[in-house]
Amino acid sequence: MKVLQKFSVRKYGIVTCVLLCLGAIIGGHTYVTAQGTTPSPPKAQSLIQDGNFQQFEPWTFINRGDASSFASLIKTNQGNAMRLVVHVNTPYASWNAQLRQSFRLVGGQPVTISYQARSWNGNEVNLVLQDANGPDYTEYFNKTEFVEGSSWNTYTYTFTPQIDNPTTLIAFNMASETGTIWLANVQVVTGSLTPTTPVAGATATLPPIAQPTAAPTPTPETQPTATPTPAPTTTGLPPAIDSSWKMSFDDEFSDSDVNWGTWQNGGQNWGSGGNGEQQEYLAGECSEANGTLQLQAENKSANGKRYSSCMVNTLGTFQQTYGYFEFRGKIPQGQGLWPAFWLYNSALSGAPEIDVMENLGNNTSTYYATYHSNSGQQQQTYNGVNLANGYHTYGVKWTPDAITFYLDNVAVRTVTSNIYQGPMFLLINLAVGGNWPGSPNASTSFPSTFNVDYVRVYAMP
């Protein structure tokens, strides 16, 4: 149904007529009251639902990829606004990762479309309005933007459709590049946009995602007090790579809870069968606070296991072949504790496995960097500062020819034989007990916490 604007116009002569005619010609609207003043434009009428992703029910996320090309989506509440995050593992056709919703389009009625986006590594966002049911999916509007940088940008367009269509589709296509795209505040309206929306192309008023600026909550008294550590640099690349490497995964852990759309609870207890571990992994032991992921181990039995703890992993949501994988964290201290950050093959075949960092809590001045292949394991032991006294950065650079481990951006070991060439996913866990670390004893403090500041992954050029 077309909407007709009614005007109350006094007879001000030929000048008023000319003004009205010119307004119609250029496609705008002129509003004249009986007193000759110009009031505010009408309020916007939203044509879509849930543009700020509070409920998400009107939206559909379609992932048409396979094992080599897939995306995942999460809804996160950061900076007092809901945002949507899309991770693209391997680039393919842009519509392989598509966010969409149907709505009614009215012909002859100007429509304004606006959304906010950001992407650290740089990604294309293709916005399309098209017929949802037609045999050839007729397009009414198509615009692609290259979104790059940590600041929010706002993209705004206005057009006038020529036909009515009650089954019009708005679609965001985002799978043409590897990396992560953040979306917020999608508007499709008639009339004026809401006043809080920035002008097209300007940096949005939404604040950047909060980065950690202080050390997390202190660990129990028997553990070392954390030394003040500056917040990590959020804009620079790790020294081991250059700008041709693009960020493909990032979690800064600034939410009010774990992003369970990206991470899964490690209830499978990988490794516990042969390692004699004594924990049960529970989602309730995983949380986010003070800008960190907190993996907590407690002296609390669960499902027949002596202790409860936390493991998170990205099996089924993120995997990658080759790249630079990095996390910044603070390990706990205590007999029987076994924190780790590692990569595991997506076939779950026992090996290969890349242990970026493992530590035994009875000696936090030593950590282990290990590559497990089908031909055996190659392990590097690092002895140095007490790693439980503060935050440290652990990384691995994995290429077709070599695997190099890093501690605080310094290479500590390179492996060049039997390099695995298949996809791997991420795991972070705090094991308790087992054949290697031994059981906790009276000196072990519970609860104990493994704090992770961020996890970042970069794809090879």
Instruction: Tell which residue, 115, 53, 60, has the closest CA to residue 81.
Output: 53
Q: What angle do CA 369, 229, 233 make, to 5 degrees?
A: 80
Q: What is the DSSP letter of 26?
A: T
Instruction: State how far the alpha carbon of 170 is from the alpha carbons of 131, 142, 181, 355, in Å.
Output: 9, 10, 17, 43
SS3 44: coil
Q: What is the DSSP letter of 385?
A: S
Half-sphere exposure for 121 (CA within 13 Å, toward CB): 25
Instruction: Tell which residue, 180, 171, 354, has the closest CA to residue 259.
Output: 180
Give the gyration radius of the chain's Cα atoms.
27
Structure tokens at 100: 């969409």
Spell out a b/e string for 86-114, using b for 16 or more CB atoms within 10 Å of the CB, else e.
bbbbbbbebbbbbbbbbbebbeeeebbbb
Kindly state the helix (H) or strand (E) to which residue 432 belongs, with its residue range.
strand 424-432
Structure tokens at 7: 């005007």
DSSP 221-279: TTSPPPPP-PPPPSSSPPTTS-TTSEEEEEE---SSS--TTT-EE-TT-TTHHHH---E
Q: Are 452 and 293 in contact (CB under 8 A)?
A: yes
Residue 358 bears catalytic tag: yes
Specify the residue for token string 């590097």.
380
Residue 277 bears catalytic tag: no
Q: Are 123 and 177 in contact (CB under 8 A)?
A: yes
Residues 6 or more apart whose Cβ sits within 8 Å of residue 423 = 67, 68, 319, 320, 321, 345, 346
Q: Which of 124, 252, 285, 353 is catalytic?
A: 353
Q: Are 290 and 211 in contact (CB under 8 A)?
A: no
Instruction: State how far the alpha carbon of 38 is from the alpha carbons of 10, 34, 191, 269, 343, in Å.
Output: 13, 10, 15, 68, 64
* CB atoms near residue 189 (< 10 Å): 21
Specify the residue for token string 């029910």.
57
> Strand pairing partners for 159?
111
Positions annotated as catalytic residues are: 353, 358
